[in-house]
């Protein structure tokens, strides 16, 4: 498959803050790549560079072989950005938002209306189409936001933390939309803080920490990096109190078990992306060899 998005040696600083420290990244055509990382890792800056909002200090960024700085306006024809905070006009109604963006995207008045109606139906916003966006719930805003991004079907879609702040149901719905978008051939670069989201949606994941890609691969590849099962020690009420990674061998498992009180309750579990994340972004205050977790 051909490369749709390519970043090579990208550095970016804001004042004294060195946000990106040499990013190399490729996204193939039709692929979903998830940028995974904590707040401040540089996820949004990468999206902003690729969507031509900010220029890199050094290195290059290309979309469909076009340079995002030199061929900015050509790049804009290929992309659609759904930013972190909903890119919608609060004073307008949902339908007015869609129509305005459709007009700005070069549709005629008739095309704008038809396309808006279609998207309102598809995103279950028909009932609230005539209400001001100010009155919308978080889930409705996100759906409208995504609907606007899909007025045209651009070859590349950027989604910056698309499901942050959404309830489980809205999140599931959005995931379905993103999957069907990818099924239609769109290349998707999304950022997320949720490991589960990356696991569910992405073909490949790039883990970002302090402006560097610290790990990259398919969800399965990344999970295999932390080795075999984890022995989970449970407390009196059954909650996990301690997790001990094993290397997948009998000896490893035995030595893990030997370290525990023989009367304690234990279970085994497959490593999750949480473990991967902690392993590759390890810092002194988060030892990876004996981590305590309460994440579900």
Partner 1 sequence: MSTLSPARSTRTPFATEATFIGRSFIHTLRTPDALIMAIALPVILMIMFTFVFGGAIDRSGDYVNYVVPGIILLCAGFGAASVATDVANDMTTGVIDRFRSMPIRASAVITGHVVASLLRNLVATVIVIGVALAVGFRPDAAPLAWLGVLALVALYILAITYLFAGIGLAASSPEAAGGYGFILMFLPYLSSAFVPVDTMPGWLQGVSEHQPLTPIIETIRALLMGSPVGDSAGIAVVWCLGILATAVVVTTLLFVRRSGRR
Do residues 27 and 5 touch, judged by C-beta distance below 8 A? yes
* Residue 132 three-state SS: strand
Please identify, using beta-carbon distances, which residue of 160 and 275 lies nearer to partner 1.
Answer: 160
Shortest Å, Cβ 46 to partner 1 = 12
* Buried-exposed string 254-289: b where 16+ CB fall within 10 A, e elsewhere: eebeeeeeeeeebeeeebbbbbbbbbbbeeeeeeee
Shortest Å, Cβ 178 to partner 1 = 13
Please identify, using beta-carbon distances, which residue of 150 and 226 lies nearer to partner 1.
Answer: 150
Task: Return all residues near 159 (Cβ < 8 A) that are at least 6 apart.
Answer: 82, 146, 149, 178, 188, 189, 190, 191
Q: Which residues bind partner 1 (CB under 8 A)?
A: 48, 51-54, 73, 76-92, 96, 100-101, 103-108, 132, 148, 150, 152-155, 180-181, 184-186
Shortest Å, Cβ 96 to partner 1 = 7
Shortest Å, Cβ 128 to partner 1 = 16
Do residues 215 and 24 touch, judged by C-beta distance below 8 A? no
Give dist(CA 276, CA 271) in Å, integer: 8
Do residues 6 and 61 touch, judged by C-beta distance below 8 A? yes
Shortest Å, Cβ 280 to partner 1 = 28
β-sheet bridge partners, residue 17 = 14
Please identify, using beta-carbon distances, which residue of 104 and 259 lies nearer to partner 1.
Answer: 104
Please identify, using beta-carbon distances, which residue of 52 and 191 lies nearer to partner 1.
Answer: 52
Please identify, using beta-carbon distances, which residue of 145 and 275 lies nearer to partner 1.
Answer: 145
């Amino acid at each position: 498959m051909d490369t749709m998005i390519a970043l090579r040696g990208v550095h970016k600083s804001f004042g004294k803050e060195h946000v990106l420290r040499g990013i190399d990244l490729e996204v193939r055509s039709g692929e979903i790549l998830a940028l995974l990382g904590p707040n401040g890792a540089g996820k949004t800056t990468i999206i902003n560079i690729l969507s031509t909002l900010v220029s890199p200090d050094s290195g290059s960024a290309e979309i469909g072989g076009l340079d995002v700085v030199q061929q900015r306006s050509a790049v804009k024809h290929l992309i659609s950005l759904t930013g972190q905070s909903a890119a919608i006009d609060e004073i307008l109604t949902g339908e007015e938002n869609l129509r305005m963006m459709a007009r700005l995207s070069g549709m005629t008045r008739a095309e704008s209306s038809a396309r808006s109606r279609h998207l309102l139906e598809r995103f279950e916003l028909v009932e609230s189409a005539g209400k001001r966006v100010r009155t919308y719930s978080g889930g409705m805003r996100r759906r409208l936001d995504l609907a606007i991004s899909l007025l045209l079907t651009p070859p590349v879609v950027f989604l910056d933390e698309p499901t942050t702040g959404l309830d489980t149901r809205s999140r599931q719905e959005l995931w379905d939309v993103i999957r069907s978008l990818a099924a239609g051939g769109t290349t998707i670069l999304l950022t997320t803080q949720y490991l589960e989201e990356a696991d569910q949606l992405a073909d490949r994941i790039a883990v970002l920490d302090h402006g560097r890609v610290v790990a990259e691969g398919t969800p399965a590849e990344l999970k295999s990096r932390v080795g075999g099962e984890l022995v989970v020690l449970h407390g009196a009420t059954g909650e996990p109190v301690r997790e001990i990674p094993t290397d997948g061998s009998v000896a490893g498992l035995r030595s893990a078990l030997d370290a525990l009180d023989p009367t304690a309750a234990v279970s085994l579990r497959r490593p999750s992306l949480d473990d991967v994340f902690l392993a590759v972004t390890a810092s002194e205050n988060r030892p990876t060899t004996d981590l305590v977790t309460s994440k579900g």
